[in-house]
Amino acid sequence: MSEEKVGEAMNKDIRAKIVGVGNYYPDKVLTNHDLEKMVDTSDEWITTRTGIKERRIAAENETTSDMAARAAKNAMKNAGIEASEIDLIILATVTPDMNFPSTACFVQQKIKAINAAALDISAACSGFPYALSIAQAYIQTGQFATIMIVAADKLSSITDWEDKNTCVLFGDGAGACILRSTTSKNGLLSLYLGSDGRKSDLLCMPGGGSANPITHKMIDERLHYVKMRGSELFKIAIKKMVLSAEKALEKCDMTIEDIDMLVPHQANIRIIKAVGARLNLKDEQVYTNLEKHGNLSAASTITALNDAILTKAVKENDIIVLSAFGGGLTWGGAVIRW
């Protein structure tokens, strides 16, 4: 099929609409004061430099798919649908249960979504807008009617608990949503995605894949943990998150004045505040939950959106803008009329 034909096959009058959401956070809380006993850090440093006070940590035997399945069940309940109605599960993560098979297949089995196809996507902290773009395309082409997006990360499993530069930032958790097609004006209005593979080394886990397979040497070199060049990422994160919001708005002929709520990737309160300021938003127009959860990578933006929805911080017809940025590098924005 030529590109033109693919375009023709899309029905632009149809859009994806979120019809149910659910989150899952593990019980165990790890506070900044707990971290003070593990590495040379302080609650004061973590709070002022990141805005994070605590994060949830999954149990040792609790996998990414366990957390994803619990969020998925909460989303199905919220949407009032049965697992058998789901046609496709799209799962975003940087901490799959295994390299293969896909974590989406483990979730499919755990929630008994017997009629669903299942696939994983790898877009790090931009996983949610990337997953939304796939769901939107499948819905517009009519290929699938009911799609579950689930984003989950057990970052504690790839965190170097001896590295104060990274271990204070991350947490564990999962968010899910169910999408269906709609011709109403409410739903997913636009998407914008970008990436820059030239800067992949700024945030990565070098070990465990084909580049550095699992060997004693690789483990001795601690390559199986997250590596991050934080201050270099900081500036790019602000630029790309502002760009993602602006481009997504432009694509649906809206401007910053139309935004009711910005739901940004929850990496650092200073990044979030800078993005909000550049977009000329008031503090109450910018949703944050990182104080309690830290950075959840793929699960970050979706759990923040779901928390905003579940606590009624957004109301019907509000214009919500999502803006994410992460490893890859990848970034993405979306506009949703709730």
Q: What are phi and psi of 246, to 5 degrees?
A: -65, -45
Question: Whose Cβ is closer to ligand UT7: residue 173's or residue 326's?
Answer: 326
Per the residue annotation, which of 32, 74, 268, 295 is the catalytic one?
A: 295
Residue 253-292 contact track with ligand UT7, rule CB under 6 A, x = bound: --------------xx------------------------
186 binds ligand UT7 (CB under 6 A): no
Residue in 150, 180, 185 with CA at minimum distance from that of residue 79 = 180
How many residues touch ligand UT7 under the rule CB under 6 A: the total is 20
Strands (E), the chain: 15-24, 28-31, 54-57, 88-92, 117-121, 146-154, 172-182, 187-195, 203-204, 227-228, 261-264, 319-326, 330-337
Least separation in angstroms between CB 268 and ligand UT7: 3
Give the DSSP H/E element, type plus range, for residue 140: helix 127-141
125 binds ligand UT7 (CB under 6 A): yes
Per CB under 6 A, the list member of 75, 176, 233, 263 interacting with ligand UT7 is 233
Per CB under 6 A, the list member of 2, 61, 231, 255 interacting with ligand UT7 is 231
**SS3 of 329, please?**
coil
Per CB under 6 A, the list member of 10, 49, 224, 313 interacting with ligand UT7 is 49
Question: Whose Cβ is closer to ligand UT7: residue 158's or residue 233's?
Answer: 233
237 binds ligand UT7 (CB under 6 A): yes
Residue 159 CA: distances (Å) to CA of 124, 207, 225, 283: 15, 13, 5, 31
Active site residue 265: yes
Binding piece for ligand UT7, criterion CB under 6 A, among 39-47, 70-78, 110-118, 272-280: 39-47
330 binds ligand UT7 (CB under 6 A): no
Active site residue 295: yes
**Strands across the sheet containing 172-182:** 15-24, 172-182, 146-154, 88-92, 117-121
Q: What are the tokens at 154? A: 């057990």
Determine the Cα–Cα distance for residues 322 and 306; give it in Å rounded to an integer.
Answer: 12
Per CB under 6 A, the list member of 47, 157, 165, 195 interacting with ligand UT7 is 165
Around Cβ 268, how many Cβ atoms within 10 Å? Answer: 22
Per CB under 6 A, the list member of 10, 234, 273, 278 interacting with ligand UT7 is 234
45 binds ligand UT7 (CB under 6 A): yes
Determine the Cα–Cα distance for residues 194 and 157; give it in Å rounded to an integer.
Answer: 28
Active site residue 33: no
Q: What are the tokens at 23? A: 């989150």
Per CB under 6 A, the list member of 20, 129, 171, 326 interacting with ligand UT7 is 326
Determine the Cα–Cα distance for residues 243 and 241; give it in Å rounded to an integer.
Answer: 5
Residue in 304, 327, 332 with CA at minimum distance from that of residue 240 = 332
Question: Whose Cβ is closer to ligand UT7: residue 268's or residue 288's?
Answer: 268
Least separation in angstroms between CB 242 and ligand UT7: 13
53 binds ligand UT7 (CB under 6 A): no
Around Cβ 13, how many Cβ atoms within 10 Å? Answer: 8
Residue in 172, 145, 190, 194 with CA at minimum distance from that of residue 65 = 172
Per CB under 6 A, the list member of 18, 168, 320, 335 interacting with ligand UT7 is 168
In the complex, the residues that contact ligand UT7 under the rule CB under 6 A are 41, 45-46, 49-50, 125, 164-165, 168, 203, 230-231, 233-234, 237, 267-268, 295, 325-326
Report, as residue numbers or ranges, the catalytic residues. 125, 265, 295
